[in-house]
Structure formats: structure tokens, C-alpha cells
Amino acid sequence: MKLIAGNSNRRLSDAIARQLSSTLADAEIKTFKDGEVFVEIQENVRGEDVFVLQSTSYPANDNLMELLITMDALSRASASRITAVIPYFGYARQDRKAGPRTPISAKLVANLITTAGADRVLTVDLHAGQIQGFFDIPTDNLYAVKEFEKRIRELQNGDLKNLIVVSPDVGGVVRARALAKRLDDRPLAIVDKRREGPGQSEVMNIIGEVKGGHCVIFDDIVDSGGTLCNAAQALMDKGAKSVTACITHGVLSDNAEERIMKSEALTRLIITDSIEARAEVADCPKVEQVSIAKLLAEAIRRIANEESVSSLFD
């Protein structure tokens, strides 16, 4: 087994390698001045089981090309199996035709990854589980819910009686219910909102009783942070005592950390390290990270040893 890391998230890649008591293989991945990506694998991979670690986060297109070209290099170097480990799968929000003459970019990216030489894909908290069906190769979609459950229990000192799990929209109810079930089957509330345009939303109503409760918003992606802050304010307006958010992928674009800091309603934002945090995000007092390195490392170990990964989905 060999691990090869792209440049998108070296911290997570190093952490995964440490969990596996391994090291990252030598590879030169660089960008020429005109933007072209160059990859050279600097050790023998013939007949090896290779795992390429690369999130397709900002800059999404550069990191995607790094992933594709790295897999092409490995395929041409006769690696026996190539697994694309993509903690954050970019373009996942473009998973359907939302209007006339629009693409389904998630399907296009899935085709590119397969054509580049991937034999298997390993990812975390896809925006829509159906995206697994876009791939014609085995695809494992892991969930970070265990890491969030552990952290919430620590923050509450084991006292969950006033805890309420909140889905930020109707589409995220299944995800939120999974966390609520883990947290001693706590009640669930839903934010009913109307989206006015890309990246914009207006909170309309709160479905469920949140008065006097400590609310935990659970979602897969936080981008600009505007929707999250609006939802937190709506919950406080309905009588919630506090609002914490647990979001798997902290995209946090467009100075989102400033919006989070200015929000009087949102107490804390917990994200994973699926995307390497910018310095401004890492230094934000309201933002903290939990690591998914152990989760991914265990999945990689089981795949390499031809063991079942089913228990990791529970």
C-alpha cells in the first residue's frame, strides 16, 4: 500500500499517514507559470495498491486537475489499484438540473475521475448520497457524525436532556435525524427557508419546538455562512438558549469567518478538517475543528486488507 498526497490538504494527509504508521510516497506535484499541472511519482508503484489523498476544495479546478493527473501518472506507472480518497468532493452541489440548460457537473466530475484511472472512490458526507450512483466504480461515502457526537457530548458534559438537533432545510432531515438518534434520540427541528438565489436564503419558519433548548444545527457544507447565521438567529428568536453548528465541510468562502464572529446568535461552529482551514478561519475563536483522519485511515486500512468497511457507515 502506498499513500500519495496532493497539495489541497497536506495536514490531513500527514495525519492519515500517522494513523496508519506509514509515510507519504515521494511525488512532485507542481504548477507551471501558465497554470499547467505537472506530476512525477518519484518511487516505484508497479503492482502497488495506491491511495491518492486530495480534496477538490478551493481552488477547486486546480486541485481537481492535480487529482486527475496524479491518477493518470499512477495508471501509466502500472499501479495495480488506484483509490481516489476525496474527503471533500467539489461540484457535489451541482447534482441535478436546477434549471433549463444547466449542467450536472457532479456527474461530469465522476466521469473524469473514472476515466483518469480510479478503481475506487472514498469520500465523506456527499452533499447528496445519490452521487454515489454517478460513479461506475465502487464508491464509499463515509459519515463524520461519530466525530460530532463525541464533541457534542463533551461540550454538554453528558447532559443531553435540553438538546435539540436542527436540520437547516428539509433536504437535510435524514442527516440530522442520524445525529439525533446517536444523541440518545433527542428531538428534531427543521428550518423552513426559501432560497432567493445562489448563496442567498430567507428563513421562513421553524418546524418543531426549540424554546428553552440548546440547538445543534447539523449540515454537510457551510459556504458563505449567511444562511447558517440566519438560521441561528431564527432559532434564538423562537426561544432557543444557544445555537451550535456542526458542519462537515467548512468551505467558508467570502470572509465567512467574519459573519460567524459577528453573529450574536451562533455560539460555536464545529467543522472537520476535510478542507484545510485558511489562517483566518483557524484563528477564529468561534470555529473549531474535529479530525476525520482516524476515520479515513481505518477505511483505507480495511480497503487495502480487503476487509469490510460496512461498520464504518453505522
- On whether 47 is known to bind a ligand per the annotation, the reply is no
- On whether 224 is known to bind a ligand per the annotation, the reply is yes
- On whether 129 is known to bind a ligand per the annotation, the reply is no
> Dihedral angle at the C-alpha atoms of 203, 207, 208, 209, nearest 10 degrees?
40
- On whether 169 is known to bind a ligand per the annotation, the reply is yes
The verdict on whether 193 is a catalytic residue reads yes
Rounded-to-integer distance, Cα 302 and Cα 283, Å: 35
- On whether 35 is known to bind a ligand per the annotation, the reply is yes
Residue pair 66/54 in contact by the 8 Å Cβ criterion: yes
Of residues 314, 216, 225, 222, the one with CA closest to residue 271: 222
Does an H or E element contain 259, and which? helix 256-262
**229 phi and psi angles, rounded to 5 deg:** -65, -40
- On whether 195 is known to bind a ligand per the annotation, the reply is yes
- On whether 127 is known to bind a ligand per the annotation, the reply is yes
- On whether 34 is known to bind a ligand per the annotation, the reply is yes
Amino acid, res. 160: L
- 95-100: which pairs have CB atoms within 8 A and are 24 or more residues apart? 95/127, 95/128, 95/130, 95/131, 95/134, 96/128
Rounded-to-integer distance, Cα 266 and Cα 256, Å: 13
- On whether 123 is known to bind a ligand per the annotation, the reply is no
Of residues 273, 92, 60, the one with CA closest to residue 68: 60
Residue 82 has, within 13 A of its CA and on its CB side, a CA count of 26
- On whether 94 is known to bind a ligand per the annotation, the reply is yes
For helices 145-155 and 173-182, give the axis angle rounded to 10 degrees. 50
Under DSSP, the state recorded for 276 is P
- On whether 219 is known to bind a ligand per the annotation, the reply is yes
The catalytically annotated residue of 181, 193, 241, 262 is 193
Which ranges of 85-194 does DSSP label H, i.e. alpha helix?
A: 105-115, 145-155, 173-182
Binding-site sequence positions: 34-36, 93-94, 127, 169, 195, 219, 223-227
Binding-site sequence positions for ATP: 34-36, 93-94
Q: Which residues are marked as active site?
A: 193
Binding-site sequence positions for D-ribose 5-phosphate: 195, 219, 223-227
Binding-site sequence positions for Mg(2+): 127, 169
